[in-house]
């Protein structure tokens, strides 16, 4: 008997093809809803650190598309973990796996607010975002942020910020607009 997860999850892969609109480059890879099916998928795909630059993995609850426009994301935002270049070989795969395990294991008191998570493989530095559905739910946002920081063993003096998707969309330049920090 397989061990069921509380939610069914879908893994997506993004590869940038500038001849197509952004949304078209998001491809569903597979969905799973048991612990065993998660591990067989995880063991079958490349770790994030071996992906090409410009690609993403996204893991979202089934039915939520990994984009700002989805009904479950449009009022939300993300906890953003911006990695230094050298962290690709040290921390990236561990962070991504620990985040996946927090998500599918429903590690948060406010797990219902979780939509999914995205890892961006970028030359200028990789990023991991954990997306929640309601940027105005400060209690849930902060609880999730504190728990993530603890589970990833991020030092207290390293500040992590939460960006509202609407602000990310409108962002001009590199000025960060964090609505919460932990």
Contacting residues toward ligand M7G, per CB under 6 A: 22-23, 67-69, 120, 122
Name the minimum Å distance from CB 4 to ligand M7G: 30
Rounded CA separation 6/26 (Å): 25
Name the minimum Å distance from CB 112 to ligand M7G: 21
Residue of closest CB approach to ligand M7G: 67
Q: In this complex, which beta carbon is closest to ligand M7G, that of residue 94 or of residue 122? A: 122
Rg of the chain (C-alpha set): 16
Q: In this complex, which beta carbon is closest to ligand M7G, that of residue 26 or of residue 33? A: 26
Residue 51 CB burial class (10 angstroms; 0-12, 13-18, ≥19): buried
Q: In this complex, which beta carbon is closest to ligand M7G, that of residue 2 or of residue 171? A: 171
Rounded CA separation 130/100 (Å): 10
Axis-axis angle for helices 92-104, 138-151 (nearest 10): 130
Name the minimum Å distance from CB 179 to ligand M7G: 17
Rounded CA separation 42/27 (Å): 16
Name the minimum Å distance from CB 77 to ligand M7G: 12
Q: In this complex, which beta carbon is closest to ligand M7G, that of residue 69 or of residue 84? A: 69
Instruction: Fill in the DSSP letter of residue 15.
Output: E
Name the minimum Å distance from CB 162 to ligand M7G: 15
Q: In this complex, which beta carbon is closest to ligand M7G, that of residue 22 or of residue 39? A: 22
Residue 100's CB is within 10 A of a number of other CB atoms, namely 19
């Amino acid at each position: 008997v397989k061990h069921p997860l509380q939610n069914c999850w879908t893994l997506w892969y993004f590869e940038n093809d500038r001849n197509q609109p952004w949304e078209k480059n998001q491809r569903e890879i597979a969905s799973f809803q048991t612990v065993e099916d998660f591990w067989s998928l995880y063991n079958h795909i490349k770790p994030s650190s071996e992906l090409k630059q410009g690609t993403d993995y996204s893991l979202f609850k089934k039915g939520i598309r990994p984009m700002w426009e989805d009904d479950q994301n449009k009022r939300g935002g993300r906890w953003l973990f911006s990695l230094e270049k050298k962290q690709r070989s040290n921390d990236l795969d561990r962070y991504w796996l620990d985040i996946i395990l927090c998500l599918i294991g429903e590690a948060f008191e406010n797990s219902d607010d979780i939509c999914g998570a995205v890892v961006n493989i970028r030359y200028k530095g990789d990023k991991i975002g954990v997306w929640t559905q309601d940027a105005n739910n400060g209690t849930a946002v902060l609880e999730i942020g504190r728990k993530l920081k603890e589970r990833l063993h991020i030092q207290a003096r390293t500040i992590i910020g939460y960006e509202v998707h609407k602000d990310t969309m409108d962002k001009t330049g590199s000025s960060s607009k964090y609505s919460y920090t932990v």
